[in-house]
Amino acid sequence: MQTISKVETTIYERPAELLQQLIRFDTTNPPGNEAEIIGYINQILMGAGVQTTLFAKDPARPNLVARLTGQGIAPPLLLYAHVDVVSTENQAWQYPPFEGRNVNGVIWGRGALDDKGGAAMFISAFLRAHVAGFIPPGDVILVLLCDEEFGGTMGAGYLV
């Protein structure tokens, strides 16, 4: 698993680079071990002044929730993504699955489509709105979960 010691808190301005960073965390589930990637995302959000809450049934498997408070005149919008991925075991990959390589403008790696790509887009959109001071009609809730790929008992099941 890759450790990123210094978190650049404005990486959300470059979603493709953010996706590359997220792919570099091996969150193969089982076992998941999403704590490091959730910690990385948490540092980005907190660096931009966002209050976050972590919920974990197991400290190695946290979930992150952040809220952009709206005007209260519309229902909330949920931006939901998961950060665990399925195994790459016994699979042939053209590029290393946890490298996040950019090839001709396409990011390759495990989770690029399911669901670290979605997470990168949601984080970027959420932070752009927050930094711009945008007050949406309803709250925008960012939820990043563990354990979607193997039962959800540590992620969505635990939060519910």
What type of residue sits at position 50?
A: V
Active site (annotated) includes residue 115: no
pLDDT of residue 116: 98
Total-model pTM: 0.95
User: What's the token pair of residue 7?
Assistant: 């978190």
Give the residue among 52, 76, 66, 50 at the shortest CA–CA distance from 139. 76
pLDDT for residue 1 is more than 70: no
Per-domain boundaries in the chain: 11-87+105-159
- pLDDT tens string 18-67: 999 999 999 999 999 999 999 999 999 999 999 999 999 999 999 999 99
- pLDDT tens string 120-131: 999 999 999 999
User: What's the token pair of residue 71?
Assistant: 């005007």
* C-alpha span between 20 and 101 (Å, rounded): 7
pLDDT of residue 7: 84
The active-site residue out of 36, 84, 115, 147 is 84
CB contact at 8 A, 48 and 132: no
The active-site residue out of 34, 115, 148, 149 is 148
pLDDT of residue 6: 66
| Mean pLDDT rounded to a whole number for the chain | 95
pLDDT for residue 5 is more than 70: no
CATH of 11-87+105-159, one of 3.90.550.10, 1.10.150.120, 3.40.630.10, 3.30.420.340: 3.40.630.10
Beta-strand relationship, 101-103 and 77-82:
unpaired
Give the residue among 111, 117, 118 at the shortest CA–CA distance from 96. 111
